[in-house]
Amino acid sequence: MAVLLAGAAQVAPLDLIIDTDPGADDVVALLLAMASAEELNIRAITTVAGNVRLDKTSRNARLAREWGGREEIPVYAGAARPLLRSPVYAENVHGGEGLPGVAVHEPAQGLAEGSAVQYLVDTLSTAESHSITLAILGPQTNLALALIRAPAILRGIKEVVVMGGAHVNAGNITPVAEFNLYADAEAAEVVLSSGVKLTYLPLDVTHKVLTSDARLAQLAAVNNQASRRVVDILNAYIKADMQRYGMPGGPVHDASVIAYLIKPSLFSGRRVELQVDRRAGMTYGQTLVNEYTSTEQPGNVVWIEEADAQGVFDLLSTRLACLK
Ligand code: BDR
Ligand code: CA
């Protein structure tokens, strides 16, 4: 059953928590979000181990906050390892520091006190009913732990928008699995089976939103510190995927989630029935997508498949121009 999507403009800013494992594309996503205060009210950034270890993803999230000039946004560190499996990192793509192409330093402002998981529990259990959106740009460990600790937090969540999975597109960490799902498939299952309203932006769509020389030149033409950093990060980050897939440009996966939240009309998808494979072996972390939904079986996630790629890069360059 092909459907949708509503492209309705947001009236009041969306109350948003960004859960992330920066990560090159996570940093681009964070800068895009921080430059979009009219649409997004970022309540907090929560970090998780993923692309690199937790201390580095937490440092990189604070660096992004510093670069975005949004020191009022708290950054909470979360899970240092997946629910059950051994940690898996993506240093081959994001570099040893998790942020290729730019120099990293210890940011002036530290982490917020307390753990990301407890922050999620406290915030979501006291929030107005279905009022807070979560953008999950890495493994879903933090939200899974919060749901296990306090299932009633579901009431506070409006929607969870995930970067993850692959169906038509092959996997990027195994032949069939996308990194964020492979890094903690058990966590993804906890979130999926909670019944929370879920939207996935899988590789199927993020591999359609590719950089090109012209798009990198468009970003460079903004010519402020933020855009220069983004171009330096992307030039270093996209190499691996361009070589691997023989593509003319590289994906900026996590930025697509933020672009979707700011301007959903740039994207389209449909309701599908999703299962996450957790069997040990070759298929661990694979997302199994059944497109044949019906009124009786309406599906459990919205699966985004198409995007106006140039529209996403126009949005990114316009918003970066608002930063220093
Ligand atoms: C996802 O995996 C990570 O390496 C990226 O940051 C992105 O969230 C893409 O598969
Ligand atoms: Ca990520």
Closest CA to 176 of 260, 285, 60, 306: 285
Report the nearest-CA residue for atom 10 of ligand 1.
179
Closest CA to 109 of 64, 141, 143: 64
> Is residue 287 lining ligand 1, measured as CB closer than 6 Å?
no
**Centroid of ligand 1 to alpha carbon of 319 (angstroms):** 22
The domains found in the chain, sorted by start residue, are 4-320 (3.90.245.10)
Give me the residues paired with residue 268 across strands.
Answer: 306
Catalytic residues: 253
Helix 253-262 / helix 24-34 crossing angle, nearest 10 deg: 20
| Residue labelled with tokens 């969870």 | 160
Residue 90 main-chain phi, psi, to 5 deg = -125, 50
For the chain, report the end-to-end CA distance as a whole number of angstroms. Answer: 45
pTM score, whole prediction: 0.96
pLDDT tens digits, residue range 249-303? 999 999 999 999 999 999 999 999 999 999 999 999 999 999 999 998 899 999 9
**Tokens found for residue 211:** 């950089």
Interatomic CA distance for residues 100 and 238, integer angstroms: 10
> Is residue 189 lining ligand 1, measured as CB closer than 6 Å?
no
Best mutation site among 47, 53, 180 for ligand 1 pocket (most ligand atoms within 8 Å of CB): 180
**Tokens found for residue 171:** 């996997």
Report the nearest-CA residue for atom 2 of ligand 1.
179
Report the nearest-CA residue for atom 4 of ligand 1.
51
Interatomic CA distance for residues 111 and 107, integer angstroms: 10
Per-residue pLDDT of the chain (324 residues; tens, 9 = 90+): 344 554 445 579 999 999 999 999 999 999 999 999 999 999 999 999 999 999 999 999 999 999 999 999 999 999 999 999 999 999 999 999 999 999 999 999 999 999 999 999 999 999 999 999 999 999 999 999 999 999 999 999 999 999 999 999 999 999 999 999 999 999 999 999 999 999 999 999 999 999 999 999 999 999 999 999 999 999 999 999 999 999 999 999 999 999 999 999 999 999 999 999 999 999 999 999 999 999 988 999 999 999 999 999 999 999 999 999
**Centroid of ligand 2 to alpha carbon of 294 (angstroms):** 32
**Centroid of ligand 2 to alpha carbon of 281 (angstroms):** 23
**Centroid of ligand 1 to alpha carbon of 234 (angstroms):** 13
